[in-house]
Amino acid sequence: MTSLASKLAPESIKKLIPYQSARRIGGSGRLWLNANELEHGVHYSDHAVDYNRYPDFLPHDIAAAYQQYCQTDNPTVAVRGADEAIDLLIRTFCQPGTDKIIISSPTYAMYEFCADAFAVETIDVPLIGANFSLNSEQIIARAPEAKIIFLCSPNNPTGNLLSRTDIVAILEGTQQDALVVVDEAYIEFELAETVVGLINKYPNLVVIRTLSKAFGLAAVRCGFILAAQDVMDYILKLIPPYPMPDCSAQIVQEALSEKGIEMAMSNTQNVVDTKQHFIAAIQNIEWIELIYPSSTNFVLIRTHQDATLFNYLKEHGVVTRNQHHEPALRNCVRITIGSPESMQEVAELINQYTISPL
Ligand SMILES: Cc1ncc(COP(=O)(O)O)c(C=O)c1O
């Protein structure tokens, strides 16, 4: 029986022979003169580290450390951030000009952006209700038209976790039709809710992760894709020859050590505590209509329509994200949770803000 992955992968990808980089070809020898590298490292600073050799073609140590962190033995690959994962998945399974993806707006803009850039059409099945739930019935109904369904849980910019029951219903209902990619960029803020454990049961599930959020390594550019082997086989055909710079890989190894994970988890708890204090400090303001429940390191605030919170904060040097352009998020501002000091300052500013009478 053909797997879903081989049903979905375009012929051009099936025929593709992965680029044979020098590291991928490997070999044994004494003098390595096969990759047009400099044979000796050049030290541009006092840090005496050699970077003259190309890195591992698939950084296995990092993948193994991440599998251990996720308590899974599902195939795992490190990429340069979750954004690269999104792009790679679309380019692996979609054919430009023909194929479609499904998203549920309002959600992370990169799914549609990467699809647009690759001439792949986006079908939007918007989140429904005041708590931004998945419209699972409609997603399942439209799945035969699509190659990939992107679900973001917890969702950016709404901050809510998607219902596990809905995700499972979608996985069940689309097994013959589409890959379901669950972007868990913020999952450390609700770690028990991860769907990684469902990959064995649902081979159409792909999970995207990142070290940019709870692990605090946005500048290092490291994300992960976890998927069933037949899905991963196609992804690995297209993955760039050297997906992770050595200097990033070294930092990631440390972050994924026992001590590193402990630090990230304790820091995550601090962010959650700061978020609760921040919410408590602003929740009784009458021009704030709603502070949405947040399973992330940000809060989404809906204000009275006359309040221009985004501009007010900007005038005071506080840069937040205006979500007003999204029809479902009129008068909404997304505020990242910073340090306790920063959030106290922002809470004080917000408390000082008064809407001028009309
Ligand atoms: C939902 C979601 N996915 C992916 C990303 C991108 O993460 P990375 O820094 O790993 O590319 C972000 C960044 O804001 C995000 O919010």
Total Cβ atoms within 10 A of residue 7: 12
Residue carrying structure tokens 């054919």: 95
- The answer to whether the CB of 212 is under 6 A from ligand 1 is yes
Ligand 1 mean position to 216 CA, how many Å?
Answer: 12
Q: Taking all residues of the chain, what is their mean pLDDT, rounded to a whole number?
A: 95
Atom of ligand 1 nearest to the CA of 107: 1
Point out the least confidently predicted range of 142-146, 249-253, 307-311: 307-311
- The answer to whether the CB of 82 is under 6 A from ligand 1 is yes
Pocket test for ligand 1, best of 80, 127, 210 (most atoms within 8 A of CB): 210
Q: How many CA atoms lie within 13 A of 253 on its CB side?
A: 10
Give the tokens for residue 150: 């992107």
Please compute the mean of the pLDDT values over residues 59-82 and round it to a whole number. Answer: 97
Which tens digits make up the pLDDT trace of 116-138?
999 999 999 999 999 999 999 99
Ligand 1 mean position to 269 CA, how many Å?
Answer: 20
Confidence category of residue 42, pLDDT binned at 50, 70, 90: very high
What residue ranges define each of the domains in the chain, with the CATH number in brackets? 4-256 (3.40.640.10), 261-352 (3.90.1150.10)
CA nearest ligand 1 atom 3, residue: 185
Which tens digits make up the pLDDT trace of 89-120?
999 999 999 999 999 999 999 999 999 999 99
Ligand 1 mean position to 132 CA, how many Å?
Answer: 19
Confidence category of residue 354, pLDDT binned at 50, 70, 90: confident
Ligand 1 mean position to 151 CA, how many Å?
Answer: 13
Residue carrying structure tokens 């890195």: 55
88 pLDDT higher than 50: yes
Residue 106: predicted pLDDT? 98
Please compute the mean of the pLDDT values over residues 263-285 and round it to a whole number. Answer: 97
139 pLDDT higher than 60: yes
Residue 45: predicted pLDDT? 84
Atom of ligand 1 nearest to the CA of 152: 1
Please compute the mean of the pLDDT values over residues 26-37 and round it to a whole number. Answer: 92
- The answer to whether the CB of 210 is under 6 A from ligand 1 is yes
Are the C-beta atoms of 223 and 89 separated by less than 8 Å? no
Residue 358: predicted pLDDT? 45
Ligand 1 mean position to 46 CA, how many Å?
Answer: 33
**CA angle 293-271-282, nearest 5°?**
50
Please compute the mean of the pLDDT values over residues 27-42 and round it to a whole number. Answer: 93
288 pLDDT higher than 90: yes
- The answer to whether the CB of 9 is under 6 A from ligand 1 is no
- The answer to whether the CB of 109 is under 6 A from ligand 1 is no
- The answer to whether the CB of 218 is under 6 A from ligand 1 is yes
- The answer to whether the CB of 182 is under 6 A from ligand 1 is no
- The answer to whether the CB of 156 is under 6 A from ligand 1 is yes
Residue carrying structure tokens 């992330």: 296
Pocket test for ligand 1, best of 62, 108, 186, 323 (most atoms within 8 A of CB): 108
Confidence category of residue 57, pLDDT binned at 50, 70, 90: confident
Residue 111: predicted pLDDT? 98
Please compute the mean of the pLDDT values over residues 59-84 and round it to a whole number. Answer: 97
Separation CA 36–CA 14 (nearest Å): 30
Are the C-beta atoms of 254 and 260 separated by less than 8 Å? yes
Residue 356: predicted pLDDT? 61
Separation CA 254–CA 261 (nearest Å): 9
Confidence category of residue 307, pLDDT binned at 50, 70, 90: confident
Peptide bond into 75 cis (omega under 30): no
Residue 355: predicted pLDDT? 73
Long-range CB contacts for residues 284-288, cutoff 8 Å, separation at least 24: 285/350, 285/351, 287/353, 287/355
Q: Which residues of 122-146 are buried (b: 16+ CB within 10 A; e: fewer)?
A: bbebebeeeebebbbeebbebbeeb
Give the residue among 47, 85, 278 at the shortest CA–CA distance from 184.
85
Which tens digits make up the pLDDT trace of 164-196?
999 999 999 999 999 999 999 999 999 999 999
Pocket test for ligand 1, best of 213, 222, 297 (most atoms within 8 A of CB): 213
- The answer to whether the CB of 81 is under 6 A from ligand 1 is yes
Ligand 1 mean position to 70 CA, how many Å?
Answer: 18
